[in-house]
């Protein structure tokens, strides 16, 4: 949350930028507005049916993280009686109330859409989720056998009494509160029990085809437990069984003054993430009032934190269903990513790069060249060293396997592993351990600054023109993670180059991360936390100066989030000077667009479609030089000041034109996936004519696919 320190006696009248609070949008509400745009994809009848289900799951996944991090932060402020206010002038209490009202509304719409449209339409297509009342005799018998064979052996019901207090409930786990009547074998009659569903159990079970009344018949684990829960309490009467789920604060806190070994400290903290303070309780809408109040009391939550849902309490577990169903007519049409011509006829990636810089536009172009660059480096006798940053790469990464192989083959391998990559800490610790075991140099960057820059450098000994040998550096810089799976889903740019100046800059950043010394001046790269924000602000101001002098000016920028107050204030000043500013901001935007006298010349749009828009592209007219930068950083305080980030220029004129066309102009022409931000802070869908719709993502698929 962007906050401004203050006291209860003297609340500030304006943010440090000099602009009053009403000129800024609230971060949390803007993030929820993004989730409404995602929810609209599930509502849109033009979205393929199974993809509509997937978008519903994405909303749930997004809201989970919202509560684990953002809402948890708000509640921490409330607990500390914080008097800080947000950049838009709100207290934590005001934000909390606004957020809860909006999330309740989103969840109601989400489940109404699931139950009234998506599930009935799936059933009409032969994809059914069977309720208990729908089971026929054969199905019930199969499910009963499944319960006794697969479910009952791994479940431990916990009766609540003085000897069995309320159990520790894992973050986001599926649980059942059971109301009971009668006495057990020991004469106990507590009247309540908790059944925790182990995570090893699938939440959705497909019935054998011969038992289904349709091609695909699924049953929820919650339905099975409801039906047979009485088997867990022999001789007692089950009065009610209600599924529930609690979401907990999942942010890790590591005190710099107490840390001696960062990896050991994080490993010690990770298990506690599952048991942080509760921030949300989800229950079935059939849950009795008495049990609801009991659960709220156990988790120290209020009615405001309670979400009654008409269906599974965890829709994220339905995310795999579209993958299980072989119905391509109900999904987005697949495409094969293309490969740049410069690499199609080369024996090695290095041959292609020596011929000139290569631009990769994922997912429309393949991520394989990056994978091949590492695979070839691991076995190439001419490669002497590899350096790489790792932020998110996954638990099963071919890139990490190549690094392991390279170290085993005697290459000098240096990996900067970010241990504080949220929700990827455990995977990154695992890779760090494996890399160290084979002799790679593993470092964890600079404590207090997340290493978010995406850099890969390969040093190769090659023949020189004079007949001797020379060390040549090859570099990959990207806007997205080294994660092959997300590279098929997220839109990102990557640059392959052996430009000596860019390679020297990259090497200098690696030196900072692995060693000690003062920051050196870089020739081309803008680096956070040193020069990135000042250079962005300076570039915006230069456009404003040009506009005041009557010269041509222009700013176009694409990013995930825009929040940093000084940057927003500078954009306002540029607009007032007459600079035309187009911003393509997928998610959170703290700027108000099109406000008379403030931001008349600023247009903000958000693109929501089948791919997650992830690349960051910055364009400045710059007196006709047309500077284009690609970056790992959003325009946020954390990226500018608390992370190590890079923005790198596209120097090749042909590639620069490609970035301007594929990364900016095509999105400004979009009238199918685009939402425009109005002066009142709400988004409106940009609607094009039926005769000439422009979907940026569809057009990029056609342009770049293999």
Q: Which of 13-17, 147-151, 349-353, 608-612 has the lowest mean pLDDT?
A: 13-17
Please give the pLDDT value at position 189. 65
Annotated ligand binding at 548? The verdict is: no
d(CA 588, CA 591): 9
pLDDT in tens, 24-71: 999 999 999 999 999 999 999 999 999 999 999 999 999 999 999 999
Percent of the chain exceeding pLDDT 90 equals: 78
Annotated ligand binding at 499? The verdict is: no
> Cis ω on the peptide bond leading into residue 529 (within 30° of 0)?
yes
Annotated ligand binding at 490? The verdict is: yes
The SS3 assignment for 291 reads: helix
Q: What's the Cα-to-Cα distance from 435 to each of 262, 397, 428, 441, 668, rounded to whole Å?
A: 17, 13, 10, 8, 44
pLDDT > 50? residue 11: no
Name which of 77, 86, 396, 99 is nearest 251 in CA terms.
Answer: 77
Q: Which residues have a Cβ under 8 Å from the Cβ of 616 and sit 6 or more positions away?
A: 479, 557, 558, 559, 560, 630, 631, 632, 633, 634, 647
d(CA 439, CA 408): 7
- From the CB of residue 249, how many other CB atoms can be counted at a distance below 10 Å? 22
**Once rounded to an integer, what is the mean pLDDT over residues 338-353?**
94
pLDDT > 50? residue 10: no
Percent of the chain exceeding pLDDT 70 equals: 91
pLDDT in tens, 647-692: 999 999 999 999 999 999 999 999 999 999 999 999 999 876 566 7
Q: H-helix or E-strand containing 457?
A: strand 454-463
- Confidence category of residue 391, pLDDT binned at 50, 70, 90: confident
DSSP state of 55: H
Q: What's the Cα-to-Cα distance from 427 to each of 92, 226, 388, 417, rounded to whole Å?
A: 34, 35, 16, 10
Average confidence score pLDDT of the chain: 91
- Confidence category of residue 395, pLDDT binned at 50, 70, 90: confident
Domains located in the chain, CATH noted: 3-111 (1.20.58.310), 135-330 (3.30.1840.10), 341-518 (3.30.870.10), 527-704 (3.30.870.10)
Annotated ligand binding at 614? The verdict is: yes
pLDDT > 50? residue 9: no
What number of CA atoms fall less than 13 Å from residue 255's CA on the CB side? 2
DSSP for 485-545, please give it: TGGGTEEEEEEEE--HHHHHHHHHHHHHHHS--PPPPPSS-EEETTTHHHHHHHHHHHHHH
Please give the pLDDT value at position 14. 38
**Once rounded to an integer, what is the mean pLDDT over residues 331-351?**
95
Annotated ligand binding at 280? The verdict is: no
- Confidence category of residue 421, pLDDT binned at 50, 70, 90: low
pLDDT in tens, 114-162: 999 999 999 999 999 999 999 999 999 999 999 999 999 999 898 887 5
Please give the pLDDT value at position 467. 75
Name which of 124, 113, 129 is nearest 44 in CA terms.
Answer: 113
**Once rounded to an integer, what is the mean pLDDT over residues 402-424?**
86
Name which of 552, 62, 547, 53 is nearest 311 in CA terms.
Answer: 53
- Catalytic residue numbers, as ranges: 452
pLDDT in tens, 541-574: 999 999 999 999 999 999 999 999 999 999 999 9
- From the CB of residue 549, how many other CB atoms can be counted at a distance below 10 Å? 9
Task: Judge contact between 221 and 205, C-beta under 8 A.
Answer: yes
Torsion of CA 116, 119, 124, 129, to 10 degrees: -140
């Amino acid at each position: 949350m962007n906050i401004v320190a203050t006291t209860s006696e003297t609340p500030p009248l304006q943010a440090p930028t000099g602009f009053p609070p009403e000129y800024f949008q609230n971060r949390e509400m803007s993030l929820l507005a993004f989730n409404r745009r995602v929810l609209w994809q599930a509502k849109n009848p033009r979205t393929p049916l199974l993809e509509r289900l997937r978008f519903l799951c994405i909303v749930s996944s997004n809201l989970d993280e919202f509560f684990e991090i953002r809402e948890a932060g708000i509640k921490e402020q409330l607990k500390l009686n914080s008097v800080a206010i947000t950049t838009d002038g709100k207290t934590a209490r005001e934000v909390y109330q606004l957020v809860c009202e909006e999330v309740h509304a989103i969840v109601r719409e989400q489940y109404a859409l699931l139950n009234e449209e998506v599930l009935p339409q799936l059933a009409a297509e032969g994809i059914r989720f069977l309720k208990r009342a729908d089971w026929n005799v054969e199905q019930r018998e199969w499910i009963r056998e499944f319960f006794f064979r697969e479910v009952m052996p791994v479940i431990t019901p916990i009766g609540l009494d003085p000897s069995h207090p309320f159990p520790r409930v894992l973050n986001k786990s599926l649980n059942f509160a059971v109301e009971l009547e009668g006495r057990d074998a020991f004469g106990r009659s507590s009247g309540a029990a908790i059944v925790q569903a182990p995570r090893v159990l699938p939440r959705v079970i497909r019935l054998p085809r011969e038992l289904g009344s349709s091609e695909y018949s699924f049953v929820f684990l919650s339905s099975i437990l409801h039906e047979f829960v009485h088997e867990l309490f022999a001789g007692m009467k089950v009065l009610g069984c209600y599924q529930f789920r609690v979401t907990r604060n999942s942010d890790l806190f590591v005190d710099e003054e107490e840390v001696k070994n960062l990896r050991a400290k994080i490993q010690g903290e990770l298990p506690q993430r599952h048991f942080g303070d509760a921030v949300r309780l989800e229950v079935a809408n059939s849950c009795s009032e008495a049990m609801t109040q009991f659960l709220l009391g156990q988790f120290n939550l209020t009615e405001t934190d309670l979400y009654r849902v008409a269906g599974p309490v965890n829709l994220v577990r339905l995310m795999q269903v579209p993958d299980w169903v072989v119905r391509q007519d109900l999904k987005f049409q697949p495409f094969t990513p293309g490969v740049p011509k410069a690499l199609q006829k080369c024996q090695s990636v290095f041959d292609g790069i020596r011929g000139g810089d290569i631009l990769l536009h994922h997912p429309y172009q393949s991520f394989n060249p990056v994978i091949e660059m590492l695979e070839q480096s691991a076995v190439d006798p001419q490669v002497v060293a590899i350096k790489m940053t790792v932020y998110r790469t996954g638990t099963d990464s071919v890139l990490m396997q190549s690094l392991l192989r390279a170290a085993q083959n005697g290459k000098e391998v240096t990996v900067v592993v970010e241990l504080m990559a949220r929700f990827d800490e455990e995977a990154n610790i695992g890779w760090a351990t494996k890399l160290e075991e084979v002799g790679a140099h593993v470092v964890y960057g600079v404590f207090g600054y997340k290493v978010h820059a995406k850099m890969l450098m390969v040093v190769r000994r090659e023949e020189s023109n004079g007949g001797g040998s020379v060390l040549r550096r090859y570099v990959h810089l990207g806007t997205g993670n080294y994660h092959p799976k997300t590279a098929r889903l997220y839109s990102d740019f990557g640059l392959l180059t052996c430009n000596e100046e860019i390679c020297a800059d990259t090497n200098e950043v690696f030196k900072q991360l692995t060693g000690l010394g003062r920051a050196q001046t870089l020739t081309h790269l803008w680096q956070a936390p040193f020069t990135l924000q000042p250079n962005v602000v300076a570039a915006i101001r230069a456009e404003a100066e040009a506009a005041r002098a009557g010269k041509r000016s222009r700013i176009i920028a694409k990013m995930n989030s825009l929040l940093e107050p000084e940057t927003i204030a500078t954009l306002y000043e540029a607009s007032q000077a007459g600079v035309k500013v187009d911003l393509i901001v997928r998610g959170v935007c703290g700027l108000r667009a099109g406000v008379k006298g403030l931001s008349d010349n600023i247009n903000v749009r958000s693109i929501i479609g089948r791919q997650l828009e992830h690349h960051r592209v910055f364009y400045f007219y710059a007196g006709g030089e047309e500077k284009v930068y690609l970056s790992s950083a959003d325009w946020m305080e954390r990226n500018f000041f608390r992370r190590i980030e890079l923005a790198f220029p596209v120097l090749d004129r042909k590639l620069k034109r490609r970035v301007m066309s594929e990364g900016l102009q095509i999105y400004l022409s979009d009238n199918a996936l685009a939402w425009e931000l109005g002066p009142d802070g709400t988004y409106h869908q940009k609607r094009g004519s039926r005769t000439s719709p422009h979907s940026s993502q569809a057009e990029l698929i056609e342009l770049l696919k293999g």
